[in-house]
């Protein structure tokens, strides 16, 4: 089951186009859109009234905040909803290729950028850390550079964890940022840190990092992959743990 999310802040807002159909099948006429958000340490689910047509739900900026996630489920599947732990309600969005919504980011000057986005259940159930090279997607020539860091974790209780910008070659921490679970966090990245050996590293929770650049009213947004998606051989977890170990050593020195 996949979760869908957006972002608002720093003069940016978002819209989601969430398909009702699997990428190899017709739409399910019974499927509904639900918003899930933590409130006083419990998950709450509510129906989302948005514009829709035969194929899509269109979630406007007014219904998007940095906490809520959206899911697709039939009404009767809500009987399996657990306020104390986020668990899959169905397998409708567990497809290959991945079931994705369009996450479009917009600014006040008409700029827009989007990507096909999802937060998979597999990441909700695990803790860990992510490593991501920041120079690959941020643009030092742009006016603004941000990293949106989305976490969705099964517990509704908000927890704090740290993200670091680390120079991998000099083994130095350039900056440290406090993040929250179950939130789309945002880091504004200084131009001086957009360097070829600088990585984003999170300690404690998995996240999806989404890189945003803004310049002269134009926007660019794209997400990065976790390192294990680069390795196709069976030693993937060993190789990734070896790399992560190097980063843990830097932050704990």
Partner 1 sequence: MKSYIRKIATSPLGVKLRNLTGWRSVPISFAHLQKNATVSDGFIWRVNENFTTKFNFADLLPLFTNSSDNTIILEFFDHLNRPIKTITLENLVDVSQEIIIDSSLLNTTGYGSFYIYHTSNSTLQECITFSNRCYVGYSYQKNLYSNVHGNTYVKSKGINNEKVEGNMIQSSGIRKYQYTLQNSFKGFDKTELVFVNPHNYTVKMELNGLKHRLSPYEVKVIEFKDDIATIRGQSYFLRPIVFNYLNGRIDVYHT
Residues that bind partner 1 in the complex, under the rule CB under 8 A = 17, 19, 21, 23-24, 55-56, 96-97, 99-102, 104, 110-116, 133, 135-137, 139, 142, 168-169, 196-197, 199, 211, 213-216, 218-225, 229-233, 235, 239, 242-243
Shortest distance (Å) from residue 59 CB to partner 1: 13
Largest CA distance in the chain: 56
Return the number of the residue (63 or 139) whose C-beta is nearest partner 1. Answer: 139
Shortest distance (Å) from residue 242 CB to partner 1: 8
How far is it, in rounded angstroms, from Cα 17 to Cα 211? Answer: 20
Shortest distance (Å) from residue 134 CB to partner 1: 8
Return the number of the residue (5 or 168) whose C-beta is nearest partner 1. Answer: 168
Shortest distance (Å) from residue 84 CB to partner 1: 31
112 contacts: CB under 8 Å, gap ≥ 6 = 104, 105, 106, 219
> Is the Cβ–Cβ distance between 4 and 152 less than 8 Å?
no
Give the end-to-end CA distance of the chain in Å, rounded to a whole number. Answer: 38
Return the number of the residue (16 or 156) whose C-beta is nearest partner 1. Answer: 16
Q: Which residue has the tokens 């170990």?
A: 245
Return the number of the residue (180 or 218) whose C-beta is nearest partner 1. Answer: 218
Calculate the alpha carbon distances from 13 to 32, 108, 130, 154, 235 in Å. 24, 9, 25, 26, 40
Return the number of the residue (86 or 212) whose C-beta is nearest partner 1. Answer: 212
């Amino acid at each position: 089951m996949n979760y869908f999310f957006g972002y608002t802040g720093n003069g940016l807002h978002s819209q989601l186009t969430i398909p009702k159909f699997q990428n190899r099948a017709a739409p399910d006429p019974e499927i509904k859109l639900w918003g899930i958000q933590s409130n006083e340490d419990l998950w709450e689910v509510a129906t989302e009234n948005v514009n829709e047509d035969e194929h899509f739900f269109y979630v406007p900026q007014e219904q998007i905040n940095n906490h809520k996630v959206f899911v697709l489920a039939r009404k009767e599947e809500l009987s399996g909803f657990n306020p104390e732990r986020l668990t899959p309600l169905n397998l409708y969005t567990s497809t290959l290729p991945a079931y994705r919504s369009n996450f479009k980011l917009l600014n006040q000057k008409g700029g827009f950028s989007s990507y096909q986005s999802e937060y998979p259940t597999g990441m909700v159930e695990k803790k860990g850390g992510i490593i991501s090279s920041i120079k690959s997607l941020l643009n030092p020539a742009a006016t603004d550079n941000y990293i949106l860091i989305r976490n969705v974790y099964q517990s509704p209780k908000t927890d704090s964890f740290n993200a670091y910008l680390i120079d991998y070659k000099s083994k130095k921490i350039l900056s440290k940022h406090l993040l929250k679970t179950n939130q789309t966090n945002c880091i504004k990245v200084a131009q001086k840190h957009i360097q070829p050996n600088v990585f984003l590293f999170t300690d404690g929770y998995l996240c999806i990092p989404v890189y945003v650049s803004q310049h002269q009213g134009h926007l660019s947004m794209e997400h990065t992959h976790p390192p294990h998606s680069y390795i196709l051989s069976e030693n993937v977890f060993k190789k990734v743990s070896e790399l992560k170990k190097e980063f843990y050593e830097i932050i704990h020195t």
